[in-house]
Amino acid sequence: MDSILIIYTGGTIGMVRDDETGALMSFDFNSLLNEIPEIKKFECNIDSVSFDEPIDSSNMQPENWLTIAQLIFDNYKAHDGFVVLHGSDTMAYTASALSFLLENLSKPVILTGSQLPIGDVRTDAKENLLTAIEIASSTKNGKAIVPEVAIYFEYDLYRGNRSTKSNAEDFEAFTSPNYPVLAQAGVSLKFNHSAIYKTNNKQLKLNSFLNNNIATIKLYPGISEQQIFSIINIPDLRAIVLETFGAGNASTQIWFIDLLIKAIKKDIVILNISQCEGGSVEQGKYETSSAFNKIGVISGKDMTYEAAITKLMYLLGTDLSIQEIKVWLQKPLRGEVTF
């Protein structure tokens, strides 16, 4: 019989509404069966573990990602799949980070949450959790159907490092702008097998160090020289995610290019991603991005912002050289970028 481990980190899905004040508060996770008795109907063993102090996903930090990854690693042999309950606001960051921290993953790690607390009459928590468990326990010929880190939300399963939260009010909170859904939940689960990550059958490896000395520069018309100067001179800065216009375009003003050159000469990695949700950076397609290729700015192609940030944290935490990091930024490690 399959065994699934539920890891509760916090978030709306594990909250109830105070009848007197209307405020949301965490409840005893062991009371989950009282809220969702349908869990008992699954033909698999379900265990659970909770953070000692559940946290709102807005407070999620890289050290928390490492804690989740360690929990999965420590329980990997004893369980066939994992469901991580998480607040939706930073879920795409956590999913992206876990995909890089858990190397050679061959079992499902499904993140889910909800827009409404589990005790509300119209809550989306029950369906999200029940279907996430079903996906985590789904096998074919004795092997997991979804052996990767994914997000399940409102009838769709997304690759974790291709996802982004795009709506704060709708139950359909997530999108995957540049990659197809991995599965859809209707009367039955319909898996998109061609889109699901293929495992290499190697032993799971836990990567346990992240370097978050990263800054973001989101370009806008009128951004000042002093702003860029201040950012590239942050002490110990290792990388910059440059959010550019359209297909990777930016100002061609001399001061701007000169500052980027100074940063690159200081071995600061500059990764160019688009401010647009859909589409890809194509450096050199227009004159306004041609200079990037010449000075050594790295194209992030069609990576999400969340994947770009967490991939940089992961690569900077390894012993790879700057040049090796630049090479791997342009290649898929866990299916996070189109190659």
Please give the positions annotated as active site.
12
Q: Give the dihedral sign, CA 333/205/132/97.
A: negative
The closest alpha carbon to 272, from 249, 306, 295, belongs to: 249
d(CA 59, CA 57): 5
Name the residue type at position 81. Answer: G
The closest alpha carbon to 86, from 146, 174, 194, belongs to: 174
- Give every CB contact of residue 253 below 8 A, 6+ residues apart in sequence: none
Concatenate the DSSP letters of all residues of 180-191 into one string: --SEEESSSEEE
Q: Burial letters for 285-319: b for 16+ Cβ neighbours within 10 Å, e otherwise?
A: eeebbebbeeeebbbbbbbbbbbbbbbbbbbbbee
d(CA 290, CA 309): 24
Q: To the nearest 10°, report the CA torsion of 117, 123, 129, 134.
A: 180
Question: E strands of 27-100, at which residues?
Answer: 45-50, 81-85
Q: Structure tokens of 234?
A: 């942050």
Cβ pair 157, 183 in contact under 8 A: yes
The closest alpha carbon to 85, from 71, 100, 101, 105, belongs to: 71
